[in-house]
Amino acid sequence: MNLRTPLGDEVLDLRAGDTVTLSGTIYTARDEAHLRMMEEGIPFDPEGAAIYHCGPVVQDGRLVVAGPTTSARMDALTGFLIDAGVRALVGKGGMGPEVVDELRGRGVYLALTGGCAALAAARMSLSGVYFEDLGMAEAVWVIEADRLPLTVGIDAHGGDIFHAVREKAKTQFHQRFNIR
């Protein structure tokens, strides 16, 4: 499926493991930006928005590279965004059980391949910035994305591919090393 922001109920049809592309406006946010938005409010229209967990390298108003950062750092900071209408979180490594619950019936988590910073930047252009005082890595950059290649990591029905893989790994480990 090819998704375009602002997102709506089409995200509810997705299932963990599906391949999608995402186009349109997305907003970067890491730890500091989440804290600032909780305090001062969201500086963009959150209805149907996509948040990108990313601290890019920006030089002379141009995105040099912009791969995903570890999403789990934002586990406890994400609920208010979903409540405000955010429909998609984009990042790497998956998120905790509280976020899986928050996304139920409302939105999805989309995984972008970690380390693929040149690939991501090749499909993005910079169109604005909020909270620039937070610094290059922590500011909210407004990005126009063109067909980002993503995997649905967590769907709106409690499906969580990362959790399933972790549980399987635990079983394998215990079997192989005879741990009861």
Q: What residues are labeled active site?
A: 34
- Footprint of other proteins on residues 155-174 (CB under 8 A)? 161-162, 164-166, 168-170, 172-173
- Residue 56 interacts with other proteins (CB under 8 A)? yes
Verify binding: residue 65, other proteins, rule CB under 8 A.
Answer: yes
CA dihedral for 74, 79, 84, 85, sign (positive or negative): positive
Rounded to 5°, angle at Cα 40 from 39 and 44: 125
Q: Which amino acid is at 106?
A: R
- Which residue, 102 or 138, is less far from other proteins as judged by CB? 138
Dump strand ranges (E) for the chain.
2-4, 19-28, 50-52, 57-59, 62-65, 88-91, 108-111, 124-130, 140-154
First-to-last C-alpha distance (Å) of the chain: 43
User: Could you tell me if 68 and 89 are in contact, meaning their C-beta atoms sit under 8 angstroms apart?
Assistant: no
Q: Per-residue x/- mask for other proteins, residues 15 to 54, rule CB under 8 A?
A: --x-x----------------------------------x
Work out whether 117 is an interface residue with other proteins (CB under 8 A).
yes
Q: How far is the CB of 80 from other proteins (least distance, A)?
A: 24
Radius of gyration of the chain (CA): 16
Binding site for other proteins (CB under 8 A): 17, 19, 54-57, 59, 64-67, 69-70, 72, 92-94, 111-119, 121-122, 135-137, 149, 151, 153, 161-162, 164-166, 168-170, 172-173, 176-177
